[in-house]
Amino acid sequence: MITRLEVELAIKQLPEGEVRDLAKWLQEYLDEMWDQQIKADVASGKLDRFIAQAEEDIAANNVRDLNEVLRNG
């Protein structure tokens, strides 16, 4: 098995363009892992209470516009 240190050393030997391509690929890979985890959490019911709370807040109009939240953040 290749170690992380070996991967790091190999990356340092790549041209900048290939490092950027690798970074893009790695981000897409991580995004896909995240998507799969969210799907698994939804399927298992782990997010049910958060979904229910969000639905209650929406029904009670206890929400703020995203643009307002971002401007105040």
Task: Give the residue carrying structure tokens 């790549």.
Answer: 14
Domain count, the chain: 1
CA gap 71, 60 in Å, rounded: 23
Query: What was the pLDDT predicted at 72?
Result: 78
pLDDT tens figures, 15-32: 999 999 999 999 999 999
- Residue range of the domain that includes 61: 4-72
Residues 40, 42, 43, 46, CA torsion sign: positive
Q: Is the pLDDT of residue 67 over 80?
A: yes
Q: Is the pLDDT of residue 73 over 70?
A: no
CA angle 11, 12, 17 (to 5 degrees): 70
pTM across the whole model = 0.70
